[in-house]
Every structure is written in C-alpha cells, then in structure tokens.
Amino acid sequence: MRQNHLIDLDDLSKAQWEQIVELAIRISKSPEKYTEHCKNKIMATLFFEPSTRTQNSFQTAMLRLGGSIIGFDNPQNSSVSKGETLADTIRIMSSYADIIAMRHPVEGAALAGAQYSSCPLINAGDGGHLHPTQTLTDLVTLANELGDLNHITIGFCGDLKNGRTVHSLIKALSYYEKTHFVLISTDELTLPQRFKNVITASGCTYEEIYSLEKAIGSLDVLYMTRIQRERFSSEALYQSQKDVYVLDTEKLKLARPDLKILHPLPRVDEITTDVDHDPRALYFKQAKYGVYARMALIITLLESASKEEILKGDADKDRRCPNPHCITNIETYLSPSFLSDGQATFCEYCDTPVE
C-alpha cells in the first residue's frame, strides 16, 4: 500500500484486502471483542462534500472500536472557507489525529492529501473517481452472501460513467476468476473505456446492454446506482437520464430467486420502496456491513508498517492533466504525475488518459 494510506483498493494486494474482509466478518460475529481496540486513538473525518452513510459509518466504526472522532462535514465551517489549501488542512489535522477519513469532490484529492499527512489517510470518495471503502463494504457483503466470488455474473445499472463505487468494484472483481460484467446504461452514461480495459486485461468479460429487463434474468448480483444530479453539467441532461432505470417488483419477476440486489445508497427513485420487502434486496444490510468493513480497515492501517512511496509515477511540471476536475488543476502547487501501462499514459491522481 502507499505507506499506510488507502487511496485506491489497488494499493492493497488481493491477499491484503481479503484479510480485511475476513477480519470484518470476524468482527461482525463478535463485535464485543474489539470495543477497546482503538482506545485513546482519534480519527479525523474530513468531509468536503455531504455524506450520510460514509461519514457516519466511519464515525460509528471508530466509536465502536473505543476511539474518538474530530473533524468537519462542511468545508464552510473550516479554514477552507478562508482559502486554506488542502495541503495545509491535512498537515494540521494529521497532527491532531491518528488516522484520517477524507471525502472530497475533486478527483485525485485523496492522493494529494496523503502526501501531506503524518498519519494514515483513507479515501472516503474523491469526486467521480474512486470509493475504495465502499468497495470493501461490497466485498464483505458479497463474501457473506455468496461465499465464493469467482465465476459470478454481476450487472451494474445506471450511472456507470460517474459512479466511483462502480469503478472501484469493477477493478476489484476483475481479480477474481471469470467474472462476467453486464454493463447496463444509456450511451451517455456508459462505463469509461479505461475500466473496460481493466476487465479485458484481467481475462474477465463484459457486455453492454441498454435494457435492464433483458439483462436481469442472467444475473447473480445486480448493483443498482443512482443517477447523480451533482455530476451533470446541466439540469436538462440530468432530467433526460434520471428515470431511465427503475427497479420494481414487476422487473424482479424476471430475475432469479437467488439474485442479490446491492446499492451503495442513497437511493432516490431508481429502486421502488416495495422492493425493500423482497429478501433479495440487501442494500440496507449492505450499509451495516460497511461499519464492520471500516472497523477492520482502521485496525489494519493503524497496525501497518508499510513504507512504500506515495507517488509512483513520473512528475512533470510542464505537463498538465487534461481533466479540469483533477486536483492538480485546482491546487496548482501540486506537480502532475503520470503513469504508463505500456499502451497509454494516465494521470496518477485521477486516472485520466493523457495524449
């Protein structure tokens, strides 16, 4: 991992994240054994954009481990509103806390923050980029509900373009044998090519389809997502997309009896409330698994002695990332850094391809 931070699930080997998943399952079965594991430790939750589940899940996890919490859930209540840089905010808060969980609306912000943190930093979501702790939550849920994660067919439905939970989980499940991905979206919200490349390079397979009704009968898992108003450039474009995919009891008649329905939440209107009573609906149970996943992660990072470099690419002050929402184009004191996979070059911060 990048020192003892978690920016991307790729910072961990498959064996390492499976150890975290196994620990989370043990905690879920005997939570009383871990009530003083983080006694006298402090977590700073720095949320630069709104959150209900992720923020409170982290706080609950730390409190259940016997620790304490500080932080903010609105940057207007912090020195950010006065123009303080991300680097300075992290320098200060990491001197107060033993571990940080940070959510930020700008892609690559977590990697930027980790460079200035003197304690472990967890990416709790950076723009439309990544959300590794939601992926750990999803993996804990699937491990509990399915057992074996090899040879599954999983459908992702909705906003596959901007969905950081989708991007992270696709990358993780590509490490398992013969995962088949069914990508259900409109042309405007299709999965970015770089994540399709991840699937292909891993030896897994995918198909793209417009119709949820046509896809649902073949799935072991259906991962529904919200059409995210905050990621659209205009209200008109959002309105044209928001009601295309709605899971209801009529569509569930076409599904297998052992289908597992997941959703990272919050739900708006893409799953009707009558589906909540179906035993195949796991999304509220999934949210509870998230506390155990984050408890296991906190324990693991606080005990880690990893010393790997944070940045792994080549710094280039004369080259800019083409993504205007990349942290390097907003906090301009940061030197852009680029990685190559042998075929293309990417911004290390936000994974945007560079010409």
Contacts of 243 (CB under 8 A, 6+ apart): 269
350, pLDDT greater than 70: yes
pLDDT at 353: 87
Q: What mean pLDDT comes out for the span 218-245? A: 70
The strand pairing partners of 184, in sequence order, are 157, 209
- Based on C-alpha coordinates, what's the Rg of the chain? 20
Tokens of 78: 């912090």
Would you say the C-alpha torsion 207, 213, 218, 223 has a positive or negative sign? positive
Give me the percent of the chain exceeding a pLDDT of 90: 69
pTM: 0.89
CA angle 31, 72, 40 (to 5 degrees): 45
| pLDDT tier for residue 236 given thresholds of 50, 70 and 90 | low
| pLDDT tier for residue 228 given thresholds of 50, 70 and 90 | low
pLDDT at 7: 93
Taking the C-alpha atoms of residue 119 and residue 102, their distance in angstroms, rounded to an integer, is 12
| pLDDT tier for residue 229 given thresholds of 50, 70 and 90 | low
Mean pLDDT comparison of 28-37, 193-202, 341-350, highest-scoring range:
28-37
| CA-closest candidate to residue 191, choices 179, 201, 182 | 182
In the Cβ-directed half-sphere of 132, how many Cα atoms lie within 13 Å? 21
Taking the C-alpha atoms of residue 328 and residue 320, their distance in angstroms, rounded to an integer, is 8
Residues in the chain: 355
Taking the C-alpha atoms of residue 105 and residue 120, their distance in angstroms, rounded to an integer, is 20
Q: What mean pLDDT comes out for the span 47-63? A: 92
Specify the DSSP class assigned to residue 194.
H
Q: What mean pLDDT comes out for the span 80-103? A: 93
239, pLDDT greater than 60: no
Q: Please write the tens of the pLDDT for every residue from 152-178.
A: 999 999 989 888 789 889 999 999 999
| CA-closest candidate to residue 105, choices 324, 347, 321, 276 | 324
Taking the C-alpha atoms of residue 132 and residue 349, their distance in angstroms, rounded to an integer, is 15
Instruction: Measure Cα distances from 109 to 45, 74, 175, 335 in Å.
Output: 15, 16, 26, 13
Q: Count the Cβ atoms, other than its own, within 10 Å of residue 44.
A: 25
Tokens of 323: 């993504």
Q: What amino acid is encoded at 252 in this protein?
A: L
pLDDT at 57: 96
238, pLDDT greater than 70: no
Q: What amino acid is encoded at 258 in this protein?
A: D
Q: What is the mean pLDDT of the chain?
A: 90
240, pLDDT greater than 60: no
The residue ranking higher by pLDDT, 128 or 122, is 122
Judge contact between 35 and 64, C-beta under 8 A: yes
| pLDDT tier for residue 246 given thresholds of 50, 70 and 90 | very high
197, pLDDT greater than 60: yes
Q: What amino acid is encoded at 305 in this protein?
A: A
Least confident span in 138-142, 196-200, 233-237? 233-237
ω into residue 336 within 30 of 0, thus cis?
no
Specify the DSSP class assigned to residue 296.
H
Taking the C-alpha atoms of residue 25 and residue 28, their distance in angstroms, rounded to an integer, is 5
Taking phi over 0 as left and psi of -120 to 50 as alpha, with beta for the rest, 66 belongs to left
Which residue ranges form the domains of the chain, and what is each CATH number? 9-131+290-303 (3.40.50.1370), 133-287 (3.40.50.1370), 319-355 (no CATH)
